[in-house]
Amino acid sequence: MSFVWSDENLQMIESLKKRYPKPQALVLPLLWMAHYQEGYISLDAIDAIALVSMLPPMEVYRVATFYTMFHLAPIGKYHLQVCKTLSCTLCGKEDILKSIQELLKIEVGQTTPDNLFTLSQVECLGSCGTSPVVQINDTYYENLTPQSIAEIIKGLK
């Protein structure tokens, strides 16, 4: 097994064990910790999570694949998540998406060859009043235009 918890995460695990009497309840916090440690959740990380949570690895895998915020393969340094629901679509999501695709020369689900950007479409980001919205990593960018998203991306390069 090549995944090893960081010292900081090992301390956090011990703290979490005190708060959650049933180890199975640790699965979501452990998934987040592994995801932030590696940038994605490897099969080795799933095995490590299974050991701590006392769940079969397949059960951990099922939880990890249920939630779209967890990735089972490496993604780019910047994860561009374009909201694809009604408000964003009506306010110009397609133009935003086209601008991103043309600038980065990738399609939805792809990562740039330099591993800098990954492009995804996601369900509602919960910011309908400021649509169209793109989440880049943990930051929301709202009221976007094709020009403004292009400037944001250029600033990240």
pLDDT digits (tens, 9 = 90+) for 5-16: 999 999 999 999
In the chain, CATH 1.10.10 sits at 7-66
Contacts of 78 (CB under 8 A, 6+ apart): 116, 117, 118, 136, 137, 156
Is it the case that residue 121 has pLDDT exceeding 90?
yes
Confidence of residue 157 (pLDDT cuts 50, 70, 90): confident
CATH 3.40.640.10 fits 78-156, yes or no: no
- The tokens of 54 are what? 């006392």
Burial 46-58 (b: 16+ CB within 10 A, else e): bebbbebbebeee
In the chain, CATH 3.40.30.10 sits at 78-156
Query: Which CATH number is associated with domain 7-66?
Result: 1.10.10
pTM of the model: 0.79
The CA distance from 38 to 155, in Å, is 25
Phi-psi region of 112 (alpha: psi -120 to 50; beta: other; left: phi over 0): beta
